[in-house]
């Protein structure tokens, strides 16, 4: 594209930017000491922003020509290179995850991030069953996360049951709610299903905030028992009945953190294993067939409703497990952790992963959550950058990072199928 | 009785605001089949821009109530329409096509961007403003309770009706309106017939944003306080209204808005304020389960 | 073609009685009654808009009829009232179908498409998911048998070379054949095909006709909607003609071809004329 046209594009863009930024950035409303509002001017900021837009658009026009940034789907040269490495990527990531606590230089902070990333990986894998495999658009996944967390918290604090007893109960309860919520709405078309699940998520959050007698309201539930190593508590005392005492180690909070890390890793790997197994079973194939063409499924005798419900319930169960883990890790939960934004982030992870791919979801979670943590020092700008990144990534790779789907069975060689052919589902 | 009448008046003025926002949702859904997740936040931007306009006018010494409101509206509509146009160009147009999930995530990202942009540029605190137009008429009296119809409420209803009337004329009488309806029915065919579908869709977003700006100004004047989060809640309720009335139906959006406004007002008056949002969400769920086409919507038969 | 057509000798497989379908104010199908016999190829023809696909959709459970009954006759048991069944139950009862606009699973391979058709058998063998995840021994054998059946049908439809190719990437004719193979993998007693010859060139139509004849020979009855008169006349045992939602003829192909009402319907003449055959 010739520089003159690029300059004109940039000029127009800067003009639009001025119209956008001058009122809201240039004139800031502040509360004066007397309680009223007054305006503060920040014209230099507006000038800088317009300048940035000008320069950015100029460079973009020069580089990409008239079209600007275009979405790509399916395999591209980049993803093709990644695919070739893909046989190494999954084992490499797994290996890294397994030995992370023992890598020199990894402190409490890094391990905490690791736990956070793995939590989102597990949530992503759970939602992947619903959205990636079955093609059902669920915007309220956080509801099951919350149900699992609160179920665990209430069971543990009220009945004093151990983590290993509460965990399956939390999962079953979440799955039960998944069926209950899913049953009336699963015949809805895609967008409507999305909105209804969003509404469910919000209803549950509002109920959690207001049903104070059960859930503690906005104060949440605290004093949730900390995890123990199969009966050995992680005490600082070093007594023989504690973890440190039993293994003859110096008591340290590090032990509990490492235990939590391997716990979430195990839970996530369980989710992954079940998903991979089911994909090769008729149920998993039915989920994917549902995503491709629901009407054809019906014509082949597949009970679409129960198939959808099974995806929903299983996804909910893993969400519940993750919630139980969250509760025991934090020792305190409140409705603030279960907002719509969480559902949106988990969905973004699944969509960014692409085509129901397990590895894709893991990488997407690593990139999004890890990236979010890395930009800690941006503070209030962090969410803004995060939202902008979501938009940019979706425009560039609308089908996600992974470009192909691998079939689960073949007469000869399993050959990867281009993402262009794979359906996104219609709810 | 008087209490109920007051709630009725309050509910209607609130419902008109929801209706204006709902029209934006239903227009965009009708023409590109997408739920514009960021529309509620465009409404929020509209409210903030009119706040700034108001402060500018006060600085400039414009004290006359009606003139100030008119100028606020013009300013807000102009700027917010620009926001609407920009959001469509950046986040939605590149994804127009067979992608289903990406536009949704893009819209959610955009919603996050708008909320945080306003939060960062204007500060996270709530912004209170003095009443521009106060006073009203006493409509009814029952003992000690006087049913007030404030000038503000009359203004809201009047402005909303004017905006909707102008909008209806646009859709039914002008070439643009015909182009919009053509694109809604069959976009490919409309393009083949020479309609500039890109421009039509852009203008749909712009008009939706303009109506949202009017709603934002009315909201600011009615409640006197705004913050960067009002978009999400108002957005979901307005979307509920659009669905209730039948997505794709413009009169349905207005009707739905009125119903939601009335239900919310009566619920918080007679039951509980805390759960009033749950009332809106529950209506959404029930409507979609039992009446997916809404009150005035079209029955869709799937061709096999 | 059959020469012995005394009705009482051949059993019915499908009985359509007074079928009526109304969409709002429009009556698409008006009291249509006909019978398809076991082991026959029955063709449903008529001008566009006659209601053929609507009848089809009623039979295969995609529309609920406004009135009338559709019965599937099963030897040794009571007839199954298809009009009262949910969509997927009709397939389980032994009625399979293909679609006018091909509905394959495009992002899955041909083989995967055929395995999904055997979903119910495989689900039963897998202990409804849980057993198979834990590695129950019945499932691997059931899957092997399913793959064998798929292989046989891929051979029969000359798709074996493309078994591992994504269905969405197959050429049009191959996609049509795959849809038929997929329907056959459900072991239906009645195969319903919606315009299987649409878009096929003469050679492909020929091959399709051969395929359908071989399917009939193996014991499956066929009901098909078709516009290609060559295929219809060549392979059908009985032809049912619809026009404007009403049945105007149901007879052997030769009789239907000479029927003045049928000719009038297709050619749009007001008066039936004497025609040379």
What pLDDT score does B259 carry?
92
Q: Are residues C257 and C208 in the same domain?
A: yes
Asked which of A64-73, A96-105, B38-47, B76-85 is least confident by mean pLDDT, the reply is: A64-73
pLDDT band at C128 (very low <50, low <70, confident <90, very high): low
Q: Are residues C66 and C111 in the same domain?
A: no
Contact B56 A39 (CB under 8 A): yes
What pLDDT score does C275 carry?
44
Distance between CA atoms of B105 and A194, rounded to whole angstroms? 12
Distance between CA atoms of A255 and A290, rounded to whole angstroms? 45
| A 269-298 residues inside an 8 A Cβ radius of C | 274, 277-278, 281-283, 285-286, 288-289, 292-293, 295-298
Q: Which chain B positions have a beta carbon within 8 Å of A300's beta carbon?
A: none
What pLDDT score does A388 carry?
92
Q: Are residues C87 and C151 in the same domain?
A: no
Of A28 and C137, more confident: A28
3 state DSSP class of A421: coil
Distance between CA atoms of B171 and B163, rounded to whole angstroms? 12
Distance between CA atoms of B14 and B6, rounded to whole angstroms? 12
> Any idea which residue has 């709902």 for tokens?
B22
The pLDDT > 90 percentage for chain C reads 61
3 state DSSP class of C81: strand
A408 CB-near residues (< 8 Å, 6+ apart): A279, A280, A284, A285, C112
Q: Name the residue of chain A whose CA is nearest to C108's CA.
A: A407
Q: Which chain C positions have a beta carbon within 8 Å of A187's beta carbon?
A: none
Q: Are residues C253 and C233 in the same domain?
A: yes
What pLDDT score does C273 carry?
46
Closest approach of chain A CAs to the CA of B3, in angstroms? 26
Q: Which chain A positions have a beta carbon within 8 Å of B213's beta carbon?
A: none
C98–chain B Cβ distance below 8 A for any pair: no
The DSSP bridge partners found for residue C251 are: C239
Q: Are residues C89 and C113 in the same domain?
A: no
Q: Which two tokens stand for residue C145?
A: 């048998």
Asked which of A228-237, A312-321, C11-20 is least confident by mean pLDDT, the reply is: A228-237
C54–chain B Cβ distance below 8 A for any pair: no
> What does the pLDDT average to over A347-373?
90
B300–chain C Cβ distance below 8 A for any pair: no
> What does the pLDDT average to over A4-29?
85
Contact A153, A221 (CB under 8 A): yes
What pLDDT score does A15 carry?
87
Q: Which of B114, B54, B48 is nearest to B84 (CA)?
A: B114
What pLDDT score does C9 carry?
44
What pLDDT score does B299 carry?
64
Smallest Cβ–Cβ distance between B104 and the set A28, A194, A388 belongs to A194
H or E, element range at C92: helix C87-92
Of the residues C136, C156, C187, the one at which a domain ends = C187
Q: Which two tokens stand for residue C217?
A: 């020979």
> What does the pLDDT average to over A171-184?
92
Check pLDDT > 80 for residue A116.
yes
Q: What angle do CA A323, A328, A330 make, to 5 degrees?
A: 90
Q: Name the residue of chain A whose CA is nearest to C90's CA.
A: A301
A151 CB-near residues (< 8 Å, 6+ apart): A166, A169, A170, A173, A174, A320, A323, A324
Q: Are residues C156 and C194 in the same domain?
A: no
Positions in chain B short of pLDDT 50: none
The domain that contains C39 carries what CATH number?
3.40.50.300
Q: What are phi and psi of B93, to 5 degrees?
A: -60, -45
User: Which chains have at least 3 CB atom pairs separated by less than 8 Å from chain A?
Assistant: B, C
Q: Are residues C43 and C175 in the same domain?
A: no
Give a three-class secondary structure readout of chain B.
Answer: CHHHHHHHHHHHHHHHHHHHHHHHHHHHHHHHCCCCCCHHHHHHHHHHHHHHHHHHHHHCCCCCHHHHHHHHHHHHHHHHHHHHHHHHHHHHHHHCCCCCHHHHHHHHHHHHHHHHHHHHHHCCCCEECCCCCCCEEEEEEECCEEEEEEHHHHHHHHHHHHHHHHHHHHHHHCHHHHHHHHHHHCHHHHHHCCCCHHHHHHHHHHHHHHHHHHHHHHHHHHHCEECCCHHHHHHHHHHHHHHHHCCCCHHHHHHHHHHHHHHHHHHHHHCCCCCHHHHHHHHHHHHHHHCCCCCCCCCCCCCC
Chain B and chain C share a number of CB contacts under 8 A equal to: 7
Of B74 and A162, more confident: B74
Q: Which chain C positions have a beta carbon within 8 Å of A423's beta carbon?
A: 105-107
Mean residue pLDDT across chain A: 86
Contact A138, A313 (CB under 8 A): no
Q: Are residues C194 and C180 in the same domain?
A: no
Of the residues C148, C171, C187, the one at which a domain ends = C187
Of the residues C138, C167, C187, the one at which a domain ends = C187
What pLDDT score does A82 carry?
64
Q: Which two tokens stand for residue B56?
A: 């500018």
Contact B99 A398 (CB under 8 A): yes
Asked which of A144-158, A327-341, C120-134, C156-170 is least confident by mean pLDDT, the reply is: C120-134
Q: Which two tokens stand for residue A61?
A: 């026009």
The DSSP bridge partners found for residue C193 are: C224
CA B62, chain centre distance (Å): 27
pLDDT band at A78 (very low <50, low <70, confident <90, very high): low
Asked which of A227-231, A338-342, A407-411, B218-222 is least confident by mean pLDDT, the reply is: A227-231
Q: Which of A203-217, A221-235, A314-328, A404-418 has the highest mean pLDDT?
A: A314-328
Q: Which two tokens stand for residue B142?
A: 């029952």
Check pLDDT > 70 for residue A12.
yes
Distance between CA atoms of A366 and A114, rounded to whole angstroms? 9
The DSSP bridge partners found for residue A206 are: none
Instruction: Provide the ipTM.
Output: 0.87
In order, the DSSP letters of A357-368 are -HHHHHHHHIII
Contact A218, A334 (CB under 8 A): yes
Distance between CA atoms of A66 and A326, rounded to whole angstroms? 48
Contact B42, B83 (CB under 8 A): yes
What pLDDT score does A219 carry?
83
Q: Which chain C positions have a beta carbon within 8 Å of A279's beta carbon?
A: none
Distance between CA atoms of A89 and A83, rounded to whole angstroms? 9
Can you give the pTM of this predicted structure?
0.89
Q: Note the pLDDT tens digit of each residue in C70-114.
A: 999 988 888 889 888 888 999 999 999 999 889 999 999 999 999
Contact A300, C60 (CB under 8 A): no
Contact B281 A188 (CB under 8 A): no
Distance between CA atoms of A145 and A338, rounded to whole angstroms? 8
Count up the domains in chain C and report the number: 2
What pLDDT score does C8 carry?
45
pLDDT band at A276 (very low <50, low <70, confident <90, very high): very high
Q: Which of A210, A207, A188 is nearest to A425 (CA)?
A: A188
Distance between CA atoms of C232 and C213, rounded to whole angstroms? 12
Q: Are residues C109 and C163 in the same domain?
A: yes
Q: Are residues C242 and C181 in the same domain?
A: no
Hey, what's the torsion of the CAs at A310, A315, A319, A321, to 10 degrees? 60
Q: Which two tokens stand for residue B71?
A: 């100028």
In order, the DSSP letters of A196-257 are HHHHHHHHHHHHHHH-HHHH-GGG-EE-PPPPEETTEE--SS--TTSHHHHHT----HHHHH
Contact B304 C23 (CB under 8 A): no
Residue C14 sits in which domain range? Answer: 1-94+188-277
Q: What are phi and psi of A41, to 5 degrees?
A: -95, 145
Contact A369, A120 (CB under 8 A): yes
Of A189 and B262, more confident: B262
What pLDDT score does A109 carry?
87
Closest approach of chain A CAs to the CA of B132, in angstroms? 14
C148 CB-near residues (< 8 Å, 6+ apart): none
Q: Which chain B positions have a beta carbon within 8 Å of C24's beta carbon?
A: 299
Q: Are residues C10 and C132 in the same domain?
A: no
Mean residue pLDDT across chain C: 87
Q: Which domains does chain B have, with CATH numbers?
A: 2-290 (1.10.3470)
Distance between CA atoms of A355 and A419, rounded to whole angstroms? 7
pLDDT band at C6 (very low <50, low <70, confident <90, very high): very low
Q: Are residues C116 and C127 in the same domain?
A: yes
Check pLDDT > 70 for residue A35.
no
Contact A353, A346 (CB under 8 A): no
User: Which chains have at least 3 CB atom pairs separated by less than 8 Å from chain C?
Assistant: A, B
> What does the pLDDT average to over A215-238?
77
Distance between CA atoms of C228 and C247, rounded to whole angstroms? 19
């Amino acid at each position: 594209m010739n520089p003159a046209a690029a300059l004109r594009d940039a000029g127009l863009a800067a003009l639009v930017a001025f119209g956008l930024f001058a009122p809201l950035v240039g004139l800031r409303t502040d509360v004066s000491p007397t309680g009223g509002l007054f305006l503060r001017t920040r014209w230099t900021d507006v000038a800088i922003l317009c300048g940035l837009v000008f320069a950015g658009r100029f460079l973009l026009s020069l580089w990409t020509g008239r079209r600007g940034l275009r979405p790509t789907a399916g395999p591209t040269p980049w993803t093709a290179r990644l695919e070739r490495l893909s046989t190494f990527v999954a084992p490499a990531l797994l290996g890294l995850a397994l030995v992370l606590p023992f890598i020199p230089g990894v402190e409490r902070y890094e391990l905490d991030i690791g736990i956070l990333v793995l939590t989102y990986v597990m949530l992503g894998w759970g939602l992947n069953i619903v959205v990636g495999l079955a093609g059902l658009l669920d915007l309220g996944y956080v509801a099951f996360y919350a149900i699992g967390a609160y179920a665990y918290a209430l069971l543990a604090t009220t009945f004093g049951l151990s983590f290993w007893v509460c965990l399956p109960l939390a999962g079953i309860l979440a799955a039960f709610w998944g069926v209950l919520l899913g049953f009336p709405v699963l015949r809805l078309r895609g967008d409507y299903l999305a909105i209804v699940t969003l509404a469910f998520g919000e209803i549950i959050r509002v109920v959690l905030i207001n049903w104070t007698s059960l859930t503690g309201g906005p104060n949440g539930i605290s004093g949730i028992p900390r995890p123990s190593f199969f009966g050995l508590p992680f005490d600082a005392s070093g007594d023989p009945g504690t973890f440190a005492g039993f293994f003859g180690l110096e008591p340290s909070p590090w032990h509990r953190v490492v235990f939590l890390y391997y716990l979430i890793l195990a839970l996530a790997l369980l989710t992954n294993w079940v998903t991979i197994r089911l994909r090769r079973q008729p149920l998993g194939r039915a989920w994917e067939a549902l995503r491709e063409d629901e009407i054809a499924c019906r014509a082949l005798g597949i009970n679409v409703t129960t198939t959808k419900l099974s995806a929903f319930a299983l996804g909910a169960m893993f969400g519940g497990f993750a919630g139980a883990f969250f509760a025991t890790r934090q020792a305190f939960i409140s409705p603030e952790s279960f907002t719509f934004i969480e559902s949106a982030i988990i969905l973004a992870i699944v969509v960014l992963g692409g085509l129901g791919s397990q590895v894709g979801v893991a990488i997407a979670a690593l990139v999004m959550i890890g990236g979010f943590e890395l930009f800690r020092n941006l503070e209030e700008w962090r969410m803004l950058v995060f939202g902008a990144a979501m938009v940019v990534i979706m425009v560039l790779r609308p089908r996600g990072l992974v470009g192909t789907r691998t079939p689960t069975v073949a007469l000869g060689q399993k050959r990867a199928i281009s993402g262009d052919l794979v359906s996104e589902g219609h709810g | 009785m008087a209490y109920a009448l007051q709630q009725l008046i309050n509910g209607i003025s609130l419902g008109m605001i929801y209706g204006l926002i709902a029209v934006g949702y239903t227009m965009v859904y009708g023409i590109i089949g997408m739920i514009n997740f960021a529309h509620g936040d465009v409404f929020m931007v509209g409210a903030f821009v009119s706040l700034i306009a108001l402060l500018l006018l006060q600085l400039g010494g414009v004290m006359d109530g009606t003139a100030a409101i008119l100028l606020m509206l013009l300013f807000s509509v102009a700027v917010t329409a620009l926001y609407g146009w920009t959001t469509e160009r950046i986040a939605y147009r590149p994804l127009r096509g067979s992608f289903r999930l990406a536009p949704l995530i893009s819209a959610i990202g955009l919603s996050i961007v708008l909320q945080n942009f306003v939060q960062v540029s204007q500060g996270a605190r709530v912004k209170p403003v003095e009443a521009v137009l106060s006073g009203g008429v006493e409509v009814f009296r029952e003992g000690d309770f006087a049913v007030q119809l404030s000038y503000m409420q009359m203004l809201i209803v009047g402005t909303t009706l004017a905006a909707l009337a102008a909008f209806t004329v646009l859709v039914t009488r002008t070439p643009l309106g015909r182009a919009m309806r053509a694109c809604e029915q069959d976009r490919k065919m409309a393009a083949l017939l020479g309609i500039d579908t890109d421009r039509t869709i852009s203008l749909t977003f712009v008009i939706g944003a303009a109506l949202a700006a009017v709603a934002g100004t009315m909201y600011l004047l009615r409640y006197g306080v705004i913050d960067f989060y009002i978009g999400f809640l108002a957005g979901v309720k307005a979307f509920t209204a659009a669905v209730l009335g039948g997505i794709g139906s413009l009169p349905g959006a207005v009707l739905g808005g009125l119903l939601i406004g009335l239900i919310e007002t009566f619920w918080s008056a007679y039951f509980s304020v805390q759960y009033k949002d749950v009332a809106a969400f529950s209506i959404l769920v029930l409507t979609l389960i039992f009446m997916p086409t809404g009150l005035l919507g079209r029955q869709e038969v799937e061709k096999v | 073609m059959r020469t012995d057509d005394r009705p009482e000798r051949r059993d019915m497989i499908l009985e359509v009685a007074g079928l009526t379908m109304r969409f709002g104010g429009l009556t698409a199908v008006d009291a249509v009654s006909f019978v398809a016999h076991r082991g026959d190829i029955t063709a449903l023809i008529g001008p566009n808009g006659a209601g053929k696909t609507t009848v089809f959709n009623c039979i295969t459970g995609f529309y609920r009829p406004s009135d009338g009954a559709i019965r599937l006759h099963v030897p040794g048991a009571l007839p199954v009232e298809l009009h009262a069944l949910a969509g997927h139950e009709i397939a389980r009862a032994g009625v399979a179908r293909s679609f006018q606009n091909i509905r394959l699973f495009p992002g899955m391979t041909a083989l995967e498409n055929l395995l999904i058709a055997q979903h119910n058998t495989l689900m039963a063998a897998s202990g409804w998911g849980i057993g198979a995840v834990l590695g129950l021994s019945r499932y691997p054998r059931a899957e092997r048998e399913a793959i064998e059946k798929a292989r046989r049908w891929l051979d029969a439809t000359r798709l074996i070379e493309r078994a591992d190719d994504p269905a969405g990437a197959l050429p049009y004719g191959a996609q049509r054949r795959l849809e038929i193979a997929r329907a056959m993998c459900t072991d239906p007693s009645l195969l319903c095909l919606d315009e299987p010859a649409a878009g096929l060139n003469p050679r492909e139509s020929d091959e399709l006709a051969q395929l359908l004849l071989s399917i009939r020979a193996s014991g499956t009855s066929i009901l098909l909607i078709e516009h290609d008169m060559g295929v219809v006349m060549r392979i059908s045992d009985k032809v049912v003609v619809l026009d404007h939602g009403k049945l105007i003829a149901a007879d052997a192909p030769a009789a239907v071809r000479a029927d003045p009402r049928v000719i009038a319907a297709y050619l749009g003449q007001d008066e039936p004329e004497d025609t040379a055959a």
